[in-house]
Amino acid sequence: MTVDPNAATRGFPSPPPAHGGPNPARYLVPALVAAAVAVGLGVYGKVHDPAGTAFNLAGFSSTGAVKSWLATTAFFFALVQLVSALMMYGKLPGPGWASALHRWSGRIAFLVAVPVAVHCLYALGYQTYSTRVLWHSLLGCFFFGAFSAKMLLLRWERLPGWLLPIIGGLVFAVLTAIWLTSAFWFFRTFGVTT
């Protein structure tokens, strides 16, 4: 591929990097957005006065139960993510629609996690009064930053092959830790209840 440096550029934010050498700016933007999201959520959780309550869904005994089940749903789809990703990379035999499965299970997992996070940040805030709570607060903020970074990185087609698996694995591991410090803890403390 020849590159004419004077040629009119088509894509707006990523004009010249077609010649293979990765433009650092393309990583800078997702990294900055990720940091902004994570820090922003943490600061909001710390500064906002925890309301203590928020609205609940009918049929559940407490918001804790609602959140635990939503989080468990998100975690289930995250497992689907892991399996479908392994299929896409040929580590597991899988159907042709593995990538569609990956996209849509990811979207569902993300959208299911959003109301849980909103409730956490609105009603409870960023808390540090125990090890579990500290890690949950920290990783909860980190998760949405890392997820934003992955979504932004996905927009480019030419990426180093190891990058997406690393980030995807990170997002999955963090979500697992968040689930363990919240829903798993809730079910163990209060019983598997609705």
Partner 1 sequence: MKRPGPLLTLLAGLVFAVFMLSLNAMTGTKNASNPYRQASPGVSVSASAPSASSSPSPSTSPSPSPSRRALPNADYAGRTDDNSSAVAVSLRGGKAIAYFCDGHDKESWLKGDVKDDGTMKLTGGNGDELNGTLQDGKRIRGTASVGGQRYGFTADRAIKPSGLYRATATVRGAKVDGGWIVLPGGKQVGVVERDGTPSAAPVIDPETGAVTIDGQKIIARPVTP
Positions in the binding site for partner 1 (CB under 8 A): 11, 14, 49-58, 60-63, 65, 103, 106-107, 110-111, 114-115, 117-119, 122-125, 127, 129-130, 133, 148, 150-152, 154-157, 189-191, 193
Q: Rounded to the nearest whole angstrom, what is the least distance from the CB of residue 93 to partner 1 in the complex?
A: 25
- CB-count burial class (<10 Å; 0-12, 13-18, 19+) for 186: buried
CA–CA separation, 92 vs 85, rounded Å?
9
Task: Please report how close the Cβ of residue 122 comes to partner 1 at its closest, in angstroms.
Answer: 5
For the chain, the first-to-last Cα distance in angstroms comes to: 59
Smaller CB separation from partner 1, 179 or 186: 186
| Minimum distance from residue 55 beta carbon to partner 1 (Å) | 5
Residue with Cβ nearer partner 1 (43 or 92): 43
Cα separation, 81 vs 74, in Å, equals 10
The least distance separating partner 1 from the CB of residue 153, rounded to whole angstroms, comes to: 8
Cβ atoms of 123 and 51 closer than 8 Å: yes
CB of 154 to partner 1, least distance (A): 4
- Chain centroid to CA 77: how far? 12
Q: Which is nearer to partner 1, 88 or 93 (CB)?
A: 88
Cβ–Cβ under 8 Å, residues 136 and 176 = no
Residue 16 vs 92, nearer CB to partner 1: 16
Nearer to partner 1, 44 or 76 (CB): 44
Which residues, at least 6 apart from 83, have a Cβ–Cβ distance to it below 8 Å?
92, 94
